[in-house]
Chain A
Amino acid sequence: MQQMALWKRLLIWATIALGVVYAAPNAFYARVEGHNDAAKLFAEGAGLTAEQQAAYDAWPEFLPSTLMNLGLDLRGGAHLLAEVQVKDVYKTRMDGLWPGVRDALRDIRDQVGNVRREPSAPDELRIAISNPEGMQAAITAVAGLAQPISSLTGMGEKDITVSQDKGQILVRLSEAEQAATDSRTVQQSLEIVRRRIDEAGTREPSIQRQGTDRILIQVPGIGSAAELKEFIGKTAKLGFYPVVRITQNENDTPGPRNFLAPSLDEKGLFYVLEETPVVTGEELTNAAPSFDDNGTPSVNFQFNVTGARAFGEYTANNVGKPFAIVLDNEVISAPTINQAIPGGSGRITGNFTIEESTNLAVLLRAGALPAELTYLEERTVGPELGQDSIDAGMRAAVIGMIAVVAYMVASYGFFGAMASMALAINIVLMIALLNLIGATLTLPGIAGIVLTMGMAVDANVLIYERIREELRQGVNPARAIELGFEKALSAITDSNVTAILTAIIMYWIGSGPVRGFAVTLGLGIITSMFTAVYVTRLIIQTWMAWRRPKTIVV
């Protein structure tokens, strides 16, 4: 019987050896996890306690230490699918546009007369002018403010559209700009969600964009989805607003383009504020907890250049008037402006505890979510259920392996044992591959592995049945084995390609549990082809070359 070429044999053994090395850490899960945690601390420059050092030394440095990612259903944690209300941003954009529009129209006051912003839908800007003849000039002037969009799809288009509607000027975001804004909003929300969850310090959160306006958040080890939502939902929307008047009537009508905000500390005190803020938290470059001159906790902040200029201008023009520092629609404090503040830095004082001031600084740094998030789907799995699932999965895998091996040995004797060896190698390679590509193991994934055990031997069965047929026709053993492998190959290929096809489709279309299953199933098919066609062949050939049997019984 022809031996395989030496390089082929070496390559197969090397692949198996690599598989074993990469799968190994999972056999010592707790130990490697301890090592990795200690290594992470060490890398961050922290000194290690004796205990941590022991954990670090428990796993040799030169071995791979990547562990299989366990899905939320196995380790416990929360899963949230959030939708970003991208339209929220349009209002902010319109509010931001208004001062520029007002100034542009003011420059041609002799043509358009008085200019007034009218109440409108949140995603548009409506402006009335007192001199209707000047409408065309007004539209031209406002359209002159439009900026070209520098995105790939919106080449040559402007960011706003200006038209005449019911005797008013109507300004809206152009469609191309809406698309660009939406994309930016989701990206920004994603970043902020990521930062907030990172601040919470949980292990390996996964935050991904899904579709056009959705964010999938998966955080292992967190108690419940509600807790996670609380983390993300803290808006910390900071703004500095001009104060119109102070009232004690909570049903006070604030008047057009104003709003009513309660005071945080003084119950029953309300502020009527202008709707357009002077500066917002988005223009902060830094915020840090500190203490004011009296030693009470406060937060120091620093604006960026545009924020500093706007703040400086406003304070210079409004000396002696109060302005309100508003956090999440509550007035933290409303100091009176004593003098212009040109440097762009300041301090927020309130009745904070040290912890509150620290949290506020963190939230301000992380920035506000640009738009509201609504939650479409939320799932929490407790760690107890996860552990139960791991136990059940492991038990099933071990029993399944024993059962399949017993059946294969009963059916094919010694050759069955060789196929079982290949099956064991198959499982090891599968785990190694899962590790290498950083796939996540879920409970359906474990089911996929157990199912692979049953289906992986199919290729061996095909080969063995062929060998039997050849032997029955009186072909000599070595030749029968060779022919068996040769002739079974087309059936193996066809059946596996179709199976991989379904796995790919499952992965492509499915989500969550379906994906986890598709990954293990697909990988299982690939590794089982390798082990059935190459590894089993190698084992049998090695055995044949060693024992040189005259007859074989398959």
Chain B
Amino acid sequence: MRLKLVPEKTNIDFFRAQFVTFGVSVVMVIASILLVFTMGLNLGIDFRGGTTIRTESTSPVDVATYRAALAGLDMGDISITEVFDPSFRPDQHVTQIRIEAAQGAEAVSPEGIATVEAAMEAVDPAIKFTSVESVGPKVSSELITQALLAIAAGSLGILLYVWMRFEWQFAVGTVAALLHDVIVTVGIFSLLQLKFDLTIVAALLTILGYSVNDTVVIFDRLRENLAKYKQMPLREMMNLTANETLSRTIMTATTTFIALMVLFIWGGDVIRGFVFAMLFGVVIGTYSTLYVAKNIVLFLGVDRSEKPKKERGTPSEYAHLDN
């Protein structure tokens, strides 16, 4: 007995509610952009500069005590959050301290970090500083540029490759779907105010790669079908293609989702944000493959006039199938 998430033969009309689904996508993209501009992103020190200190102690953490210990230091804005994770030992109490970068200053001075560490040690002798990170504003502004550039270059590279391999309509559809995925993921990070740092950018790029993978597989099949069924209307053919590849789409999404879910649960709190972004990306990427990329291609239309190179009729490579 086989586990089958998708029945052997499906006949779903992916365009039946196309105005609803496409409309939802458009609304989500606009909402995400609005969110980023109104609520902003909870930028990590990679992009905003400043210092984070991760502390670990065997004695229970009282954030108020820590806060009181640091209040008198005149270090600017300090925030302390306690970190929980199922993988921690019972006597492992972790907090994350964040010190904002002073205006126009270089990375927080070593004396500053030493002062904070000394103050913490005074209230909790068992405390250890398991990670200390400081980023100066010069680097953080470069990292922002770098991140935007990476996403732009990634999209452009994909656009060019898909254009080269398929028609330009496919390339536009693919990239629109990718940007949709990336923008909505960023929107979720803004909505939930999750920490947005350099690793999230890596996650976004992975979403880019995953989503394009998904879309290209369907387009590849579509291209094959375009050659096979000359007379079928484009809309019907897209449905046929999506149904033919649906089993694979869901199968791959599920294995990737499983792997990511495992990482999300057991991979530790350090990379949880990173994994969350990808987890969300797999879901939205699968959705956009089925409901965004194709719609745009359908909207743009495909030039189905005969190419001089190609033979008329059924391509010969399929002729022997019935033997």
Residues of chain A at the chain B interface (Cβ within 8 Å)? 73, 81, 83, 224-226, 229, 374-382, 384-385, 388-389, 391-393, 395-396, 399-400, 403-404, 407-408, 410-413, 443-444, 446-447, 450-451, 453-455, 457-458, 461-462, 465, 468-470, 472-473, 475, 483, 487, 490-491, 494-499, 501-503, 505-506, 508-514, 517-518, 521, 553
| B56 pairs with A400, CB closer than 8 A | no
**Inter-chain contact total with CB atoms closer than 8 Å:** 247
For this complex, 28 residue pairs linking A to B, each with C-beta atoms less than 8 Å apart, are: A224-B132, A378-B107, A378-B134, A379-B134, A384-B56, A385-B130, A388-B87, A396-B262, A403-B262, A411-B251, A450-B263, A451-B278, A455-B252, A461-B251, A461-B255, A465-B247, A470-B321, A491-B221, A495-B217, A497-B161, A498-B209, A498-B212, A498-B216, A501-B158, A505-B150, A506-B150, A506-B154, A506-B202
Chain B residues with CB below 8 A from A408, complex form: 255
Chain B residues with CB below 8 A from A382, complex form: 56, 128-131
**Contact mask for chain B residues 244-265; partner A; CB cutoff 8 A; 1 contact, 0 none:** 1101100110111111101101
A309 vs B161: C-alpha distance when bound (angstroms): 66
Given the known inter-chain contacts A376-B106, A378-B107, A462-B248, please indicate yes or no for A454 contacting B161, CB distance below 8 A: no
User: Does B196 lie at the interface of the complex (its beta carbon under 8 Å from any beta carbon of A)?
Assistant: no
Closest to A517 in B: B202
| B139 pairs with A377, CB closer than 8 A | yes
Question: Which of B245, B259, B270, B321 is A443 in contact with, Cβ under 8 Å?
Answer: B270
Main secondary structure of the interface of B (DSSP, over half): helix
Given contacts A379-B133, A443-B271, A472-B8, 17 further A-B contacts (CB under 8 A): A73-B270, A379-B131, A395-B87, A396-B262, A403-B262, A408-B255, A411-B4, A413-B2, A450-B263, A454-B260, A455-B259, A458-B256, A491-B220, A495-B212, A498-B158, A498-B162, A514-B150
| A498 pairs with B213, CB closer than 8 A | yes
Given the known inter-chain contacts A381-B131, A403-B262, please indicate yes or no for A499 contacting B54, CB distance below 8 A: no
User: Does B229 lie at the interface of the complex (its beta carbon under 8 Å from any beta carbon of A)?
Assistant: no
| A453 pairs with B217, CB closer than 8 A | no
Task: Give chain A nearest CB distance to B318 CB in angstroms.
Answer: 9
User: Does B192 lie at the interface of the complex (its beta carbon under 8 Å from any beta carbon of A)?
Assistant: no
| A454 pairs with B257, CB closer than 8 A | yes
**Contact mask for chain B residues 214-258; partner A; CB cutoff 8 A; 1 contact, 0 none:** 101101110010000000000000000000110110011011111
| A513 pairs with B3, CB closer than 8 A | no
User: Does B199 lie at the interface of the complex (its beta carbon under 8 Å from any beta carbon of A)?
Assistant: yes
Task: Give chain B nearest CB distance to A179 CB in angstroms.
Answer: 21
Chain A residues with CB below 8 A from B114, complex form: 226
Question: Which of A229, A453, A494, A514 is B198 in contact with, Cβ under 8 Å?
Answer: A514
Closest to A457 in B: B255
| B210 pairs with A455, CB closer than 8 A | yes
Task: Give chain B nearest CB distance to A184 CB in angstroms.
Answer: 23
For the complex, count residues of B whose C-beta is within 8 A of A: 77
| A509 pairs with B146, CB closer than 8 A | yes
Chain B residues with CB below 8 A from A388, complex form: 87, 268
A517 vs B255: C-alpha distance when bound (angstroms): 19
User: Does B40 lie at the interface of the complex (its beta carbon under 8 Å from any beta carbon of A)?
Assistant: no
Main secondary structure of the interface of A (DSSP, over half): helix
Task: Give chain B nearest CB distance to A68 CB in angstroms.
Answer: 18
Chain B residues with CB below 8 A from A509, complex form: 146, 149-150, 153
User: Does B201 lie at the interface of the complex (its beta carbon under 8 Å from any beta carbon of A)?
Assistant: yes
| B135 pairs with A377, CB closer than 8 A | yes
Chain A residues with CB below 8 A from B87, complex form: 388, 391-392, 395
| A512 pairs with B110, CB closer than 8 A | no
Closest to B148 in A: A509
Interface residues in B300-323 (C-beta closer than 8 Å to A): 321
Question: Which of B3, B205, B212, B268 is A392 in contact with, Cβ under 8 Å?
Answer: B268
| B199 pairs with A444, CB closer than 8 A | yes
| A407 pairs with B255, CB closer than 8 A | yes
| B202 pairs with A465, CB closer than 8 A | no
Chain B residues with CB below 8 A from A494, complex form: 165, 216-217, 219-220
| B267 pairs with A450, CB closer than 8 A | yes
Chain B residues with CB below 8 A from A81, complex form: 139
A275 vs B213: C-alpha distance when bound (angstroms): 66
Chain B residues with CB below 8 A from A379, complex form: 131-134
A501 vs B154: C-alpha distance when bound (angstroms): 7
Question: Which of A224, A395, A510 is B202 in contact with, Cβ under 8 Å?
Answer: A510
Given the known inter-chain contacts A379-B132, A506-B150, please indicate yes or no for A514 contacting B202, CB distance below 8 A: yes
Closest to B275 in A: A447
User: Does B42 lie at the interface of the complex (its beta carbon under 8 Å from any beta carbon of A)?
Assistant: no
Task: Give chain B nearest CB distance to A529 CB in angstroms.
Answer: 12
| B54 pairs with A385, CB closer than 8 A | yes
Chain B residues with CB below 8 A from A462, complex form: 217, 248
User: Does B208 lie at the interface of the complex (its beta carbon under 8 Å from any beta carbon of A)?
Assistant: yes
Residues of chain B at the chain A interface (Cβ within 8 Å)? 2-4, 8, 54, 56, 87, 106-107, 110, 113-114, 128-136, 138-139, 143, 146, 149-150, 153-154, 157-158, 161-162, 165, 198-199, 201-202, 205-206, 208-210, 212-214, 216-217, 219-221, 224, 244-245, 247-248, 251-252, 254-260, 262-263, 265-268, 270-271, 274-275, 278, 321
Closest to A474 in B: B322
Chain A residues with CB below 8 A from B212, complex form: 495, 498-499, 502
| B252 pairs with A461, CB closer than 8 A | yes
A541 vs B247: C-alpha distance when bound (angstroms): 25
A494 vs B245: C-alpha distance when bound (angstroms): 15
Chain A residues with CB below 8 A from B4, complex form: 411
Chain B residues with CB below 8 A from A384, complex form: 56, 128, 130
Chain A residues with CB below 8 A from B219, complex form: 494
Task: Give chain A nearest CB distance to B142 CB in angstroms.
Answer: 9
Task: Give chain B nearest CB distance to A411 CB in angstroms.
Answer: 5
Task: Give chain A nearest CB distance to B163 CB in angstroms.
Answer: 12
Task: Give chain B nearest CB distance to A98 CB in angstroms.
Answer: 32
| A393 pairs with B202, CB closer than 8 A | no
Given the known inter-chain contacts A377-B139, A382-B128, A491-B221, please indicate yes or no for A502 contacting B259, CB distance below 8 A: no
Chain A residues with CB below 8 A from B138, complex form: 83, 376
A512 vs B244: C-alpha distance when bound (angstroms): 41
Question: Which of A375, A392, A499, A553 is B266 in contact with, Cβ under 8 Å?
Answer: A392
Chain A residues with CB below 8 A from B139, complex form: 81, 376-377
Task: Give chain A nearest CB distance to B155 CB in angstroms.
Answer: 9
Task: Give chain A nearest CB distance to B48 CB in angstroms.
Answer: 13
Chain B residues with CB below 8 A from A229, complex form: 110
| A375 pairs with B213, CB closer than 8 A | no
A503 vs B217: C-alpha distance when bound (angstroms): 18
A511 vs B150: C-alpha distance when bound (angstroms): 11
| A407 pairs with B130, CB closer than 8 A | no
A225 vs B117: C-alpha distance when bound (angstroms): 14
Chain A residues with CB below 8 A from B259, complex form: 400, 403-404, 450-451, 453-455
Given the known inter-chain contacts A380-B131, A399-B266, please indicate yes or no for A469 contacting B150, CB distance below 8 A: no
Question: Which of B128, B135, B153 is A505 in contact with, Cβ under 8 Å?
Answer: B153
A400 vs B264: C-alpha distance when bound (angstroms): 10
Question: Which of A396, A454, A495, A512 is B256 in contact with, Cβ under 8 Å?
Answer: A454
Task: Give chain A nearest CB distance to B97 CB in angstroms.
Answer: 14
Chain B residues with CB below 8 A from A226, complex form: 110, 113-114
Chain A residues with CB below 8 A from B321, complex form: 470, 473, 475, 483
A67 vs B29: C-alpha distance when bound (angstroms): 46
Chain A residues with CB below 8 A from B113, complex form: 226
A392 vs B275: C-alpha distance when bound (angstroms): 13
Chain A residues with CB below 8 A from B265, complex form: 396
A364 vs B134: C-alpha distance when bound (angstroms): 31
Given the known inter-chain contacts A229-B110, A376-B136, A498-B158, please indicate yes or no for A396 contacting B128, CB distance below 8 A: no
Chain B residues with CB below 8 A from A508, complex form: 153
| B154 pairs with A502, CB closer than 8 A | yes
Task: Give chain A nearest CB distance to B273 CB in angstroms.
Answer: 11
Chain B residues with CB below 8 A from A399, complex form: 262, 266
Closest to A382 in B: B130
Task: Give chain A nearest CB distance to B291 CB in angstroms.
Answer: 19
Closest to A402 in B: B262
